[in-house]
Structure 1
Amino acid sequence: MQLYIDENKKLTIILARDHIEKSGIERDSKVFVIEKKGETDFPALSEHEEYTMIIKIRDSLMPRGERLLVIDFKGQRQLVKEWKEAFASISGIIESVMQWIRVNRENKKLISKLKTLSETDKLTGIYNRMVLDRVLLKQTKSYERYGERCSIMIMDIDHFKRVNDTYGHNVGDKVLCEMARLLKRNTRNTDVVGRWGGEEFLIICEHTELGKAMILAETLREKTEDHSFGQAGSLTASFGVSTFCDGMTVEQVVGKADEALYKAKTEGRNRISD
């Protein structure tokens, strides 16, 4: 959307066709500018903000019976509203709306930031346990209702305590962050990757059967084994994989993956189990 003030101090609004009817301007009209004089300093707006702007300006002026110059798509002029007040009055209306938009944007940014902080593991920057629990519950309901397949895997860094004891917790933290990045790089956009706790990570694979989840786990195991974790050097990881089955609760699905992880650990580590 753009606003212009012409020589006669008429305000011209350029807006999308699908907003015409919503804003109360005639359905077959398209508003556009002929002379770009006195262009206002106006930021790009979202559709919602543009629509809000139109409505607020319309509601501010309609009670006074003023009319807006509209030129339809055939080039025919019509007067829907005509501006009679000085440029300063029009600017005041625009500025009040823009202030509302600025505050609204800042509030949205703050809400988005708080949401991100509440859902993110502080150290690694990936999803935290709260998000993982929520997604697991959602997937359980999806399986019960629609039969949508879903598999999960718990990954544990082998001998991680040795890393902390040998190199210190700062190096251990760097290993956890690097592992989080490795998992994100090598999983699909639809997979949910989060920190389960300590050196354990949980990966939720939506629309994925057990066999395909096992293949992904093996890929991640190989990527981990081939990766250099800085000062900590080469590391390995073990994986426990499970899938949603009829009548299983979240606790049972996670418990099965945990049992499989324990089996992988006791059988020598650096392997996957289901």
Structure 2
Amino acid sequence: MADKILIVDDNEKIRNMVRRHLSKDGYQILEAQSGQEALDVIKQNTDIPDVILLDVMMPGMTGFETCTELRKLTGGELLYIIMLTAVTEINKKVEGLDRGADDYVTKPFDMDELMARVRTGLRTAKGRRDAVTDSLTEIYNRSFFNTILSSEAALSIRHKRSLCLVFLDIDHFKRINDTYGHGGGDAVLKSIGTILKSLCRKSDIPVRWGGEEFAVLLPETDIGGGEKFAENIRKTVEAHDFEGVGRVTASLGVSILTTNEQDMIKAADTALYSAKNGGRNKVVCFEHNML
């Protein structure tokens, strides 16, 4: 898959010039002529861009304001943002860096310099993704989950929004490994990751929890919405034909944030245990009488 670059500039001539040069190296190019349009482009795409070229001075939302909003998006901390600034705006570099920019290129810029900075940005963005991504399933790893959970919980409490957690465990996974080998087991894990990505919204956070366990953090989702989401996963897994293995089922536990993050994790784990203990291939929502 080609590296993805988003060009954000209200000047069409600059966008066209940059696009022509970047396209020669095979990059996938997205364009936006305003900060709000840039946010909309990212929200509408399944995969976030690797590098963003962001003009500082734009009508409406400035590059500084856009940079701040980009960092707030799920996965926004993985972006590599290069700000494009005129010579007279050099004194604003500090503000841009404080807002979350990674680098600056001064207008009128030399295209060779810009291309070199883009290549540097792509290497950095890849390193950031690798650090938070499970290499087998290509979804977030547990380390990233631990990092982002506190901020998501704080946002939910501050804005009085629901936050839901779904745990998934592949049923009889040891039997799959014993029967089909670790290659077969790995293929199942990878397919589960693909299924989760296909069913998640842009704001949802799918995670390889460890072994055959997965988790999905669902912002702005109550227990009913979480149960519906989990049931959709269960049915999709049950209906899926896993290559070389055949049919597989999964058990899922659902909880919501009430007091703190750790209690939410314990509640989802308790609900998952109840699902497995109750016959597997089912969804169970946490209830206090389970304790």
Shorter-chain TM range is: 0.5 to 0.7
Partner of 1:254: 265
Shift of 1:182: 1.1
Write out per-residue CA displacement over residues 123-145 of structure 1, whole angstroms, 9 at most, x where no aligned residue: 11111111111222112111222
Task: Provide the aligned C-alpha RMSD in A.
Answer: 3.0
| 1:122-201 matched pairs, under 5 angstroms | 122-201=135-214
The answer as to 2:283 corresponding to 1:272 is: yes
Matched residues in 2 for 1:184 and 1:47: separation? Answer: 28
Matched residues in 2 for 1:164 and 1:51: separation? Answer: 52
Write out per-residue CA displacement over residues 25-46 of structure 1, whole angstroms, 9 at most, x where no aligned residue: xxxxxx99xxxxxx9xx72694
Identity %: 33
Instruction: Select 1:224's aligned residue among 237, 243, 246.
Output: 237
Matched residues in 1 for 2:144 and 2:170: separation? Answer: 21
Shift of 1:50: 9.1
Matched residues in 1 for 2:111 and 2:127: separation? Answer: 24
Matched residues in 1 for 2:226 and 2:194: separation? Answer: 19
| 1:9-20 matched pairs, under 5 angstroms | none
Show structure 2 runs of 5+ residues with no match.
Answer: 1-8, 23-30, 32-52, 56-81, 89-106, 286-291
Shift of 1:167: 0.7
Q: Is the CA contact 2:156–2:220 (under 8 Å) kept in the aligned structure 1?
A: no
| 1:67-146 matched pairs, under 5 angstroms | 97-146=110-159
Residue 142 to residue 266, structure 1, CA distance change in 2 (3 Å): same
Show structure 1 runs of 5+ residues with no match.
Answer: 1-15, 20-30, 33-38, 57-93
Shift of 1:102: 2.5
Write out per-residue CA displacement over residues 41-85 of structure 1, whole angstroms, 9 at most, x where no aligned residue: x72694547944x539xxxxxxxxxxxxxxxxxxxxxxxxxxxxx
Shift of 1:194: 1.2
Larger radius of gyration: 1
Normalising by structure 2, we get a TM-score of: 0.63
Partner of 1:43: 21
Q: Is the CA contact 2:156–2:219 (under 8 Å) kept in the aligned structure 1?
A: no
Normalising by structure 1, we get a TM-score of: 0.66
Write out per-residue CA displacement over residues 143-191 of structure 1, whole angstroms, 9 at most, x where no aligned residue: 2222121101000000000000111001100110011111111222221
The answer as to 2:209 corresponding to 1:209 is: no
Partner of 2:43: none
Matched residues in 2 for 1:196 and 1:18: separation? Answer: 45
Matched residues in 2 for 1:111 and 1:140: separation? Answer: 28
The one-letter code of the counterpart of 1:229 is F
Partner of 1:243: 256
Matched residues in 2 for 1:226 and 1:51: separation? Answer: 49
Write out per-residue CA displacement over residues 84-118 of structure 1, whole angstroms, 9 at most, x where no aligned residue: xxxxxxxxxx9983343232112211110101101
SS at match of 2:247: coil
Matched residues in 2 for 1:243 and 1:50: separation? Answer: 39
The one-letter code of the counterpart of 1:235 is V
Shift of 1:255: 0.6
How many residue pairs end up in the alignment? 201
Residue 184 to residue 18, structure 1, CA distance change in 2 (3 Å): closer
Matched residues in 1 for 2:136 and 2:115: separation? Answer: 32
Q: Is the CA contact 2:275–2:284 (under 8 Å) kept in the aligned structure 1?
A: yes
The one-letter code of the counterpart of 1:242 is S
Matched residues in 2 for 1:154 and 1:18: separation? Answer: 47
Partner of 1:55: 87
Matched residues in 1 for 2:83 and 2:269: separation? Answer: 51
Runs of 4+ in structure 1 off by over 4 angstroms are 16-19, 44-47, 49-52
SS at match of 1:109: helix
